[in-house]
Structure 1
Amino acid sequence: MEHLFRSLMFVPAHNERLLNSASRSNADVLLLDIEDSVPGIDKQSARDNIIRYITDGIFKGRAVYPRINDRESGELLRDVYQLTIPGITGFMYPKSVKGDDIYFIGKLLETVEYEKGYPIGTFKLIPLIETTGAVMNIKDICMACSRVVAVAFGCEDYVTNLQGKHDLVGDSIFTARSLIALSARACGIQPIDTVHIKVHDLDDLERNLVISKKLGFEGMLVLNPKELELVHRYFSPTNEEVEWAAEMITLSNEAIHAGKGVAVKDNKFIGPPMVKMANNILQKNELVRNADKNIKK
Structure 2
Amino acid sequence: MWRSFLFIPVLEQRFIAKAADCHADAIILDLEASIAADRKPEARTALPDVVSRLTSQVDVTVRINPLWLDAIRDLEACVIDGVTALHLALCESAEQVAAIDGILTELERERGLPPGKIKLIAMLESPGAVLRAEGIARASPRMAGLTLGVEDYATAMGASANDVLLRPAGAQVIQAARAAGVEPLVVPSSMADFRDFEALALAADFARNLGASGGYAVHPGQVEVLNRSFTPTETEIDWATRVLAAAAEAAKAGQGVFQIDGQMIDLPLVTRAERIIRRTPPT
C-alpha distance in structure 2 between counterparts of 1:8 and 1:258, whole Å: 44
1:101 Cα deviation (Å)?
A: 0.9
* Counterpart in the other structure of 2:113: 118
* Counterpart in the other structure of 1:136: 131
Query: Quick one: which amino acid aligns to residue 64 of structure 1?
Result: V
What is the CA RMSD across the aligned residues, in angstroms?
1.5
Q: 1:28 aligns with which of 18, 25, 29?
A: 25
Q: Point out the more displaced range, 174-183 or 13-22.
A: 13-22
* Counterpart in the other structure of 1:71: 67
1:5 Cα deviation (Å)?
A: 1.2
Q: Does 1:172 align with 2:165?
A: yes
Deviations 1:8-32 (A, max 9, x none): 1111112111222223211111111
Deviations 1:252-293 (A, max 9, x none): 1111112223222234321111111111111111xx226xxx
1:210 Cα deviation (Å)?
A: 2.1
Query: Quick one: which amino acid aligns to residue 182 of structure 1?
Result: Q
Q: 1:42 aligns with which of 39, 43, 46?
A: 39
* Identity score, percent: 28
* Counterpart in the other structure of 1:87: 82
Q: 1:280 aligns with which of 275, 278, 281?
A: 275
Query: Quick one: which amino acid aligns to residue 184 of structure 1?
Result: A
* Counterpart in the other structure of 2:177: 184
1:119 Cα deviation (Å)?
A: 2.3
Aligned length: 281
Residues 54, 60 of structure 2: 8 Å contact kept = no
Name the SS of the counterpart of 2:29 in structure 1: strand
115 and 59 in structure 1: CA distance in 2 versus 1, 3 angstrom threshold: closer
Q: Does 1:242 align with 2:237?
A: yes
1:110 Cα deviation (Å)?
A: 0.7
**TM-score (norm: length of structure 1):** 0.90
Q: Which runs of 5+ in 1 are unaligned?
A: 291-297
C-alpha distance in structure 2 between counterparts of 1:135 and 1:82, whole Å: 29
Q: 2:14 aligns with which of 5, 8, 17?
A: 17
Name the SS of the counterpart of 2:156 in structure 1: helix
Q: Does 1:227 align with 2:210?
A: no
**Runs ≥4 residues deviating over 4 A:** none
Residues 256, 266 of structure 2: 8 Å contact kept = no
C-alpha distance in structure 2 between counterparts of 1:130 and 1:248, whole Å: 39
1:48 Cα deviation (Å)?
A: 2.7
1:62 Cα deviation (Å)?
A: 2.1
Residues 51, 60 of structure 2: 8 Å contact kept = no
C-alpha distance in structure 1 between counterparts of 2:127 and 2:41, whole Å: 31
* Counterpart in the other structure of 1:210: 205
**TM-score (norm: length of structure 2):** 0.95
1:61 Cα deviation (Å)?
A: 4.4
89 and 152 in structure 1: CA distance in 2 versus 1, 3 angstrom threshold: same
* Counterpart in the other structure of 1:155: 150
1:38 Cα deviation (Å)?
A: 0.4
Residues 256, 262 of structure 1: 8 Å contact kept = no
1:209 Cα deviation (Å)?
A: 1.8
Query: Quick one: which amino acid aligns to residue 129 of structure 1?
Result: L
Q: Which runs of 5+ in 2 are unaligned?
A: none
Q: 1:266 aligns with which of 253, 261, 270?
A: 261
C-alpha distance in structure 2 between counterparts of 1:247 and 1:27, whole Å: 30
Query: Quick one: which amino acid aligns to residue 55 of structure 2?
Result: F
C-alpha distance in structure 2 between counterparts of 1:90 and 1:210, whole Å: 25
1:70 Cα deviation (Å)?
A: 1.6
